[in-house]
Structure 1
Amino acid sequence: MKKLAAFILSSTLVLSLTACSSDQQEQTGNGGADTSNTSDTAAQPALDGNILIAYFSVPETDGTDTVAGASRVVVDGEVLGNNQYIAQLIQQEAGGDLFRIETVQEYPGTHDELLDFAYNELSENARPELSSQIENLDDYDVIFLGYPNWNADLPMPLYTFLEEYDFSRKTIIPFTAHGGSGFSGTIQTIQELQPEATVIEDGLEISRNSVPDAQSDVADWVAGLKG
């Protein structure tokens, strides 16, 4: 009887250990599957869907040629605003449609007058009326958004733009040509104005002095967004 009891106890322990081992393998397998799914989601490229490249750009008109620090660049004899040029480079690399954010009012073309005008708008917390409208916003999933850094802030027409449109469930990818301040706090401002959108924080910031030679930088940046 003692031998029989010992045999039964031994068999029970073996079956119990086998069951535990099987359970552990199943849990490990499920955990691996969940981790893989999470990784795939995190690695999802930003450029997923139809693309709109919206930009605000005010090319300065001082003189006849571009100079260091100007907000314009000459391409094949055509004078373009810095952010307008970058928008075109992005379109070359990513495709999509271009949309220029324009206002009813005209901005001064000379550098000093433009600085004063922009500062006064900021002081007054102005909302300049837009003269251009996106007719088919629902058709787009990804919005590249370009603008100059004025007074370490968004240009006031960008406030109008971001308050007039609802970019919920869309991806916003900022880019800027700046005079040394980069994005300042503008990406956070976009996040506050569009809390239901996905705002990519790794935007493209190009010094205005480097805009004419920005093609390779834009290409590398867009390639990174494609994943």
Structure 2
Amino acid sequence: MKDYKKVLTSIIVSVAAMVSLSACSQANGASRSSTAASTVTAETSDLSSSANESAGDSPTQDTGKGNILIAYFTLPMEDGVDAVSRASRKQSDDGTFGNIMYMAHVIQKNAGGELFSIETAQKYPTDNMDDLLEFAAKEKSDNARPELSTHIENLDDYDTVFIGYPNWNADLPMPMYTFFEEYDFSGKTMIPFVAHGGSGASRTVSTIKELEPGATVIDDPVTVYWDELDNAESIVTEWVQNLEY
């Protein structure tokens, strides 16, 4: 009888031990699963963060130098010559552009910002260079102020304004006079860029300073000669990268 009780007691102890070990094993397994789940969540979070950072790395994002506007005036000629500067249109992977428009896109690619095209209500003769030259010369002699058909609605949003235009008869195109009289750029940094047929920027930068005395106008504009248009991207890119503003 005593031997029977000993055997029964031994069986009970063994079963209890097995139950205890099983419970311990399940608890440890749950703990390991919880740890693994936490690790996966953390890794997924890191990947998501990296993806968001990559998505924000846009060529037109704010560069940290303030909000940027790139305003430009151009009249692409129908025969492939761009206004009085006589520059051919530029063919790129993004399309075909007149010289100033192309320079504006290169600036945006390197500095960010928003593009704004300065356009006039009146139409200019763009099918014949001589007619356009004569028209532009008469506008200058009349000290004309052509009406603009596009307008900046949120100028206060911008700290830096790139200003692009062709050099017409060693002067600003007359629509640019209208533009500068319409807006007060006081407190803003203005950076000219110019296309020309051999005269560079002439004294157009000094004229902008006179028209916008409250603005800081950069003295070193980029100028692209018509036969340099194929090199415009490298010229403008290097200029933007070396600007201090």
TM normalised by structure 2 equals 0.69
* Structure 1 residues 77 and 60, CA gap change in structure 2 (3 angstroms): farther
Q: Distance in 2 between matches of 1:71 and 1:179?
A: 11
User: Counterpart in 2 of 1:92?
Assistant: 109
4+ runs of 1 displaced by more than 4 Å? none
User: Counterpart in 2 of 1:102?
Assistant: 119
Q: Partner letter of residue 127 of structure 1?
A: R
Q: Say which SS state the counterpart of residue 98 (structure 1) adopts.
A: strand
1:147 aligns with 2:142: no
The Cα of 1:226 is off from its aligned counterpart by: 4.8
User: Counterpart in 2 of 1:174?
Assistant: 192
1:183 aligns with 2:189: no
The Cα of 1:106 is off from its aligned counterpart by: 1.2
- RMSD of aligned alpha carbons: 1.9
Of the three residues 218, 221, 231, the one matched with 1:200 is 218
User: Counterpart in 2 of 1:115?
Assistant: 133
Q: Could you list the runs of 5+ residues in structure 1 that have no partner in the other structure?
A: 1-46
Contact 2:100 2:194 in 1 (8 A): yes
Deviates more, 1:122-131 or 1:215-224: 215-224
Q: Distance in 2 between matches of 1:162 and 1:208?
A: 26
Q: Distance in 2 between matches of 1:104 and 1:71?
A: 24
The Cα of 1:214 is off from its aligned counterpart by: 1.1
User: Counterpart in 1 of 2:67?
Assistant: 50
Q: Say which SS state the counterpart of residue 168 (structure 2) adopts.
A: coil
Larger Rg: 2
Q: Distance in 2 between matches of 1:69 and 1:191?
A: 26
Q: Distance in 2 between matches of 1:140 and 1:83?
A: 21
Q: Distance in 1 between matches of 2:86 and 2:145?
A: 27
Q: Could you list the runs of 5+ residues in structure 2 that have no partner in the other structure?
A: 1-63
Contact 1:86 1:211 in 2 (8 A): no
* Structure 1 residues 77 and 88, CA gap change in structure 2 (3 angstroms): closer
TM normalised by structure 1 equals 0.74
Q: Partner letter of residue 146 of structure 1?
A: G
Alignment length, in residue pairs?
178
Q: Partner letter of residue 66 of structure 2?
A: G
Of the three residues 147, 150, 164, the one matched with 1:129 is 147
* Structure 1 residues 144 and 217, CA gap change in structure 2 (3 angstroms): same
Deviates more, 1:73-82 or 1:162-171: 73-82
